């Protein structure tokens, strides 16, 4: 088995900073778009609440990564470097194009469902609440990694998940207490929370499979994989999902979501077009950097960094609220962003619990082990049953035997 590639610390810091920055821009811009009114196909004004259309734009942004991949490949033509993944003949790393396309279909489907469900949840919940709920992803990543990567959780993993659950409860309480400030009401808030949490199931599957096939013997280039996810996602949107939501009856000019009206609003409202372009660019960089982090570190590190983005989203949305408090440019003559109130302390506590749980779960700087020592909890693995423990012990013995024979 080939050794994992070690990336320079400066490069890791650059990618992590980029993921946080572009991820914040992505969430904030998406929420502002949903709060912005624009001229529709009937000549009236309505909010640009188009989650399925925004998903198509997201995949278009991801598809641009494939252009970047081939540009880099062309620039290195004629250079002899056996380990350079950009100039090798098979970019799938030996997986084969058939298996690669099946993998891309799975990843793009998960990406489509998690993005759209989170987008719909964003219609009903504040951006900071939605982002905190995304931090609950570590719970589902833990389960998916156990199933697909056979990664046995340790006690600090479970401790971190329990802490995240406490944070989730407080975030939910804050969202319900603030329901009167949202147009959706309590029912809409609950729906938004459920949709966002459901989206994390698909996101965890995507994270784990990307880690599984980008690390190790296949070593698929991040730009190549993101680009193909974008192409497949565009095809799914154009051929399946956008026509489906168009023919489903609803309040958007007779449809659940009328993509003709969505396109008209985007191209005939300069502010919406500018926001959509910014979303297009930010999602392209964000997805590339997120995949690169899965490759450099792991899916759980990616979930951690995504959870830390909660703080930046919250701060930016608060700043935007007070910056637009007088002009009130949003739908129903309201400011953009989120205001601070007494309930914000509940959300802040939930956020701290979520971040604490994520830090413990990922054992950042040995923090998880230190917490286990403080609470006098063992540091071992947590198997589901004795047979599972025996199975993994046999696997470990075989690996030790193989290592000894190699020596």
User: What does the alpha-carbon distance between residue 263 and residue 266 come to, in Å, rounded to a whole number?
Assistant: 5
User: What does the alpha-carbon distance between residue 357 and residue 208 come to, in Å, rounded to a whole number?
Assistant: 19
Residue 291 lies in a domain: yes
Residue 258: what pLDDT? 95
Over residues 41-69, mean pLDDT: 91
**Which residues, listed in sequence order, are joined to residue 252 by a DSSP beta bridge?**
255
Indicate the angle between helix axes 97-124 and 185-214, nearest 10 degrees: 160
Sign of the Cα pseudo-torsion (158, 174, 113, 211, in order): negative
291 vs 105 pLDDT, higher one: 105
* Confidence at 397, pLDDT banded by 50, 70, 90: very low
Over residues 15-21, mean pLDDT: 85
Residue 195: what pLDDT? 92
Residue 240 lies in a domain: yes
Residue 228 lies in a domain: yes
User: What does the alpha-carbon distance between residue 202 and residue 197 come to, in Å, rounded to a whole number?
Assistant: 10
User: What does the alpha-carbon distance between residue 351 and residue 128 come to, in Å, rounded to a whole number?
Assistant: 10
Q: Please count the structural domains in the chain.
A: 1
- Residue holding tokens 């449809």? 255
Residue 80 has pLDDT above 80, yes or no: no
Residue 4 lies in a domain: no
Tell me the two tokens of residue 118.
Answer: 């989170």
Stretch among 180-189, 191-200, 328-337 having the lowest mean pLDDT: 180-189
**Average of per-residue pLDDT values in the chain:** 80
| Rg (the chain; Cα; Å) | 22
User: What does the alpha-carbon distance between residue 233 and residue 253 come to, in Å, rounded to a whole number?
Assistant: 25
- Do the beta carbons of residue 319 and residue 18 sit within 8 Å? no
Residue 353 has pLDDT above 80, yes or no: yes
Tell me the two tokens of residue 241.
Answer: 């999902």
* Confidence at 328, pLDDT banded by 50, 70, 90: confident
Q: Which domain holds residue 134?
A: 9-366
Nearest to 64 by CA among 286, 219, 375: 286
Decide: helix, strand or coil at residue 309.
helix
Over residues 9-18, mean pLDDT: 80
Over residues 354-366, mean pLDDT: 79
Residue 393: what pLDDT? 44
Residue 84 has pLDDT above 60, yes or no: no
Residue 137: what pLDDT? 75
Residue 399 has pLDDT above 90, yes or no: no
Residue 396 lies in a domain: no
383 vs 33 pLDDT, higher one: 33
- Do the beta carbons of residue 176 and residue 186 sit within 8 Å? yes
Residue 7: what pLDDT? 65
Residue 390: what pLDDT? 46
Nearest to 193 by CA among 175, 218, 213: 175
How far lies 402's CA from each of 151, 216, 389, in Å? Answer: 20, 18, 20
Residue 395 has pLDDT above 60, yes or no: no
Stretch among 91-95, 279-283, 382-386 having the lowest mean pLDDT: 382-386
Residue 245 lies in a domain: yes
* Confidence at 398, pLDDT banded by 50, 70, 90: very low
Nearest to 331 by CA among 48, 140, 26: 48
Residue 71 lies in a domain: yes
Residue 380: what pLDDT? 60
pLDDT digits (tens, 9 = 90+) for 205-242: 887 887 777 665 677 787 888 899 999 999 999 999 99
Residue 405 has pLDDT above 60, yes or no: no
Q: What is the pTM of this model?
A: 0.75
Over residues 316-338, mean pLDDT: 86
% pLDDT > 90, the chain: 26
Residue 66 lies in a domain: yes
Residue 324 has pLDDT above 50, yes or no: yes
Residue 60: what pLDDT? 93
Residue 168: what pLDDT? 75
Length of the chain: 407
Most confident range (mean pLDDT) of 4-13, 14-23, 213-222, 300-309 is 14-23
Most confident range (mean pLDDT) of 131-140, 362-371, 385-394 is 362-371
Most confident range (mean pLDDT) of 219-223, 264-268, 385-389 is 264-268
User: What does the alpha-carbon distance between residue 7 and residue 81 come to, in Å, rounded to a whole number?
Assistant: 17
How far lies 71's CA from each of 11, 67, 165, 285, 301, in Å? Answer: 21, 6, 45, 16, 29
Residue 406 has pLDDT above 50, yes or no: no
């Amino acid at each position: 088995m080939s050794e994992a590639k070690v990336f320079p610390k400066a490069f890791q810091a650059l990618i992590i900073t980029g993921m946080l920055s572009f991820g914040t821009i992505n969430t904030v811009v998406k929420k502002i778009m949903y709060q912005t009114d624009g001229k529709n196909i009937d000549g009236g004004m309505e909010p640009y609440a188009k989650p399925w259309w925004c998903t198509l734009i997201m995949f278009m942004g991801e598809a641009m990564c494939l252009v970047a991949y081939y540009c880099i490949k062309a620039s290195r033509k004629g250079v002899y470097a056996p380990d350079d993944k950009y100039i090798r003949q098979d970019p799938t790393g030996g997986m084969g194009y058939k298996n690669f396309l099946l993998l891309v279909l799975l990843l793009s489907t998960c990406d489509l469902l998690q993005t759209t469900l989170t987008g719909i949840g964003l219609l009903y919940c504040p951006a900071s609440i939605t982002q905190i709920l995304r931090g609950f992803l570590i719970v589902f990543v833990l389960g998916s990694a156990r199933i697909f990567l056979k990664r046995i959780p340790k006690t600090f993993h479970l401790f971190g998940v329990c802490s995240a659950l406490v944070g989730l409860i407080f975030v939910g309480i804050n969202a319900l207490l603030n329901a009167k400030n949202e147009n959706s009401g309590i029912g809409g808030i609950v729906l938004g929370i459920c949709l966002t949490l459901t989206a994390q199931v698909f996101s965890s599957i995507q994270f784990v499979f990307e880690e599984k096939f980008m690390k190790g013997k296949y070593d698929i280039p991040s730009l190549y994989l993101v680009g193909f996810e974008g192409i497949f996602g565009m095809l799914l949107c154009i051929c399946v999902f956008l026509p489906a939501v168009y023919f489903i009856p609803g309040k958007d000019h007779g449809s659940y979501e009328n993509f003709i009206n969505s396109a008209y609003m985007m191209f005939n409202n300069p502010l919406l077009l500018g926001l959509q372009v910014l979303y297009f660019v930010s999602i392209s960089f964000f997805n590339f950097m997120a995949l690169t982090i899965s490759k450099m570190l792991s899916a759980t590190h990616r979930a951690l960094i995504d959870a830390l983005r909660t703080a930046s989203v919250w701060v930016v949305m608060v700043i935007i609220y007070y910056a637009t408090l007088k002009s009130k440019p949003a739908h129903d003559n309201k400011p953009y962003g989120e205001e601070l109130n007494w309930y914000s302390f509940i959300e802040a506590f939930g956020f701290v619990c979520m971040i604490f749980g994520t830090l413990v779960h990922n054992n950042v700087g040995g923090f998880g082990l230190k917490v286990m020592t403080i609470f006098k909890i063992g540091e071992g693995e947590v198997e589901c049953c004795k047979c599972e423990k025996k199975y993994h012990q046999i696997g470990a013995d075989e690996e030790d035997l193989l290592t000894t024979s190699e020596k």
